[in-house]
Each structure stands twice: as structure tokens, then as C-alpha cells.
Amino acid sequence: MSINEISANKSFEGWHKQFTHSSSVLNCEMRFAVYLPPQMEQGKKVPVLYWLSGLTCTDENFMQKAGAHRMAAELGMMIVAPDTSPRGDDVADDDGYDLGKGAGFYVNATQEPWSKHYQMYDYVTRELPQIIEGNFSVSDKKAIAGHSMGGHGALMIALRNPEMFVSASAFSPIVNPMNCPWGQKAFTAYLGDDKDEWQQYDSCYLLQQAEQKTPMLISQGQADQFLVEQLKTEALEAIAHEKSAPVTIERHDGYDHSYYFIASFIEQHLKFHAEYLS
């Protein structure tokens, strides 16, 4: 699968680069960003952390704001940050910030007009890893992380693919989208009214059913304006406790939903993944 490099910036002796490619899964041109640690220039195959961003974001937010490059360089970890949704003039959209472009929710849409392009689950779990593994010197070890809507995506994808991702982490994740306004709006539009279809994308449901236990780290700010209505951290915590699942939930007083929170604890998350990627 051919990719086109559109930007390159040296960072901590490694490289931040952006690429575009034609996606056969999403039926549009997609962009993604990578951080290539300096070990890759020494011929080493490195493990990969996939990062999924939240509502209204692109591939750029995390790479520019999170401050992850220094620790990724130290640990010898490649970071891959896809866009949050398909884009293009013929891609369906909505006037709301929480549906359509920038709000793909990492699901495979089954409803019109979304189903032609909004196949983000397949993109993250199939097409993008194939591109990364076909174009970069990487090992077979993968982990996944994300923020908010991307935290939902990371936990959900890890729970559905325990053989693919060795660990998962999230900042301020939407853990129970079936029971929050953001998730209900997106799932109704993308998946229809059948809530049995929704369950396959709900981390609380998936953790309740999980047989293989993927280690997870969740960081939640206690001053997060979306905590009570949208994020529902306590719902996942109760299931993790009931199932004795290896889920660590850390609460941080004073922190909100922003990238200031992510930047404050991203190095902890990278070190967490490094334990399982080594």
C-alpha cells in the first residue's frame, strides 16, 4: 500500500512525519502521523503504540500537544496517530461537532449515509496496521491508547482484539457509550436503533464478557466537565472489580478534559505500555 509523505520534523533525534494514502476501507484519502524513534535509524524493529484522538481532533492534536516524543524516543517506541474519521467533499457530515467528520467513534457504520465511508473500526484494526507493517521497520508488538472518544476506541478495540494489542490505556475515556448522550447520538446515527448492535462497541459490555484479560490503565481528571454525564468511569470500575480484571483507574484532582491533562501524565502511560511491548 503506497503512502505519500507530506511533512517531516526532527524531534528528540527521531522524526515526526505525516502521510496520506488512499483508503480502500474508508473510500477516501486519509492522513496519519507517526513518531519514528531514533532506534529505527539504527536498523532496529520497534514496537508500535496506536493513539486514537477524541471528538473534533485530527492526527495533529496529540503529536503537537501531548509531549510524547521525548519518552517515545527514550523507550524506542513508534507512535501512530490516525485521523478520527473519514474526510472529503463527498463524505457525509453533520452540523453537530459530535457526529460526522471528526467524530467517527471508531465504529463500522451500517446506516446510510454513513456506511459508505465510516468504517473506522476496520481502518484501525486492519488497514492501518497493514500499512504501518508494510512501510516501516516495526516488530509484531502493538499497544493502543486514546483520549475521550479515542479512549472509548482504544479500550473497545483492545477488548475485542486481545490477541492483537498487548495493552491499552486511556485518558478520560467514554467507557459506556450506550448510556451517555454522545454515544447514544452517534450509535443511533451510525448503527441504527438496535441496541444489540451497540453492545459490540461498548467497553462496559465487552469487559463484562471478556475471557482474555488485557492490562489497562485509565487516567481520569476529577475536574473534567464531562465526567458525570458522558464518561461514566465508575461503571467500568465496578465491572473491573467484579471480574478481577487488570484495570487500573487513577483519579487526578484538579485536572480537566484538556491536553494539559494528557501532557501531565503521558510519560506514565508510555512507560506502562513499554512493560508489555518489550
Q: Which residues are catalytic?
A: 148, 224, 257
Compute the distance between CA of residue 276 and CA of residue 172 in angstroms, rounded to an integer: 22
Strand partners, 4: 20
Q: What is the Rg, in whole angstroms, of the alpha carbon atoms belonging to the chain?
A: 17
Compute the distance between CA of residue 3 and CA of residue 189 in angstroms, rounded to an integer: 31
Nearest by Cα to 203 from 237, 227, 226 = 237
Compute the distance between CA of residue 80 and CA of residue 140 in angstroms, rounded to an integer: 14
Is the pLDDT assigned to residue 47 strictly greater than 90? yes
pLDDT at 1: 79
What does DSSP say about strands 78-82 and 46-52: parallel, antiparallel, or unpaired? Answer: parallel
* Phi and psi torsions of 19, nearest 5°: -135, 155
3-state secondary structure of 83: coil
Q: What is the mean pLDDT of residues 190-217?
A: 96
User: Half-sphere exposure of 190 toward its Cβ, with a 13 Å CA cutoff?
Assistant: 29
Is the pLDDT assigned to residue 16 strictly greater than 90? yes
Reported as a single tens digit per residue, the pLDDT across 98-118 is 999 999 999 999 999 999 999
Q: Which one is the CATH code of 4-277: 3.40.50.1820, 3.40.190.10, 3.40.640.10, 3.50.50.100?
A: 3.40.50.1820
Cα dihedral 57, 62, 64, 70, rounded to 10, equals 180
Reported as a single tens digit per residue, the pLDDT across 133-145 is 999 999 999 999 9
Reading the block at residue 101, the C-alpha cell is 467528520
Compute the distance between CA of residue 81 and CA of residue 252 in angstroms, rounded to an integer: 25
Beta strands in the chain (DSSP E): 4-11, 14-23, 28-36, 46-52, 78-82, 138-147, 168-171, 216-221, 247-252
Is the pLDDT assigned to residue 188 strictly greater than 90? yes
Nearest by Cα to 51 from 161, 145, 123, 160 = 145
Reported as a single tens digit per residue, the pLDDT across 230-249 is 999 999 999 999 999 999 99
Reported as a single tens digit per residue, the pLDDT across 51-97 is 999 999 999 999 999 999 999 999 999 999 999 999 999 999 999 99
Q: Where are the domains of the chain?
A: 4-277
Strand partners, 9: 16
Full-model pTM: 0.98
